[in-house]
Amino acid sequence: MTSLHHPSDETLVRHAAGTLGAGPSVVVEAHLAHCSRCRAAMNDFEAIGGALLEAMPEGEPPPDGLARVLAAIDRGAAIVAAPASVPPRARPDLPEGFQLPSSLDDTNFGRWRWIAPGIHISRAEGAWARASGLKLLRVEPGKRLLDHGHHGIEWTCILSGAFSDGRARFVAGDFSEVDQSVEHRPVIEGDTACICLVAMEGRMKPHGLIGRLHQMVFDA
């Protein structure tokens, strides 16, 4: 499953149903703020879900029905309420005039950490955020990430700047969703830093010794 510039339908359906993880949901919300097409798709998916619920026959619910509903409620609470349990709006240094999306209003981030020359990350803080793999990635103009694959799904919303990765060019507001089938090497374009909001399922799969060394720093 891969998607260029927009979340996949599967991701949007899971987000609409409240079954997408907290980290990916925050990344999707950052994209929805820019994308009327995906907002319209979300409305459609929510309407379809409501219609299906109304069409369900009356009678005894499935044996695990209550557990599934409670689990969905818990997931939704984690998405909405968990960030409020930490002090609001701790931020790494950001370019003048740059604003993070409103989906991050109650999410704290740590300082920028060096990964490689011109490449830094800032992790979302708090137990819920750490488990979600949510982070900011900042790459300076002209730099490129190492060639890598993925052990799970990676959801990325570009907040500023632009990059190309051999599949397409991505600019602010775009969404990149990649899985185990994709191997790429993003290259930053233009004269401004590229800042992305990223959530990962699993780890990156870097190639070569240098890539594995960088991965150790990335995961620390």
Residue 71 inside a domain? The answer is yes
Largest CA distance in the chain: 62
Taking each helix axis from N to C end, the angle separating 22-32 and 36-55, rounded to the nearest 10 degrees, works out to 120
Residues 80-106 pLDDT 10s: 444 444 455 678 889 888 989 988 988
Total domains present in the chain: 1
pLDDT at 200: 84
Residues 146-164 pLDDT 10s: 776 667 788 999 999 999 8
The pLDDT of residue 220 is above 70 = no
pLDDT at 81: 44
pLDDT at 203: 67
Residue 46 inside a domain? The answer is yes
Query: What is the pTM assigned to this prediction?
Result: 0.74
Residue 99 inside a domain? The answer is no
Least-confidence region, from 6-20, 23-37, 42-56, 180-194: 42-56
Residue 100 inside a domain? The answer is no
Boundaries of domain holding 78:
1-94+105-220
3-state DSSP helix/strand/coil % of the chain, to nearest 5: 35, 25, 40
- CATH number (domain holding residue 199): 2.60.120.10
Residues 10-30 pLDDT 10s: 999 999 888 899 899 999 999
pLDDT at 140: 95
Least-confidence region, from 3-17, 98-112, 192-206: 192-206
- 103: which residues sit within 8 A by CB, 6+ positions away? 26, 29, 30, 33
The pLDDT of residue 174 is above 60 = yes
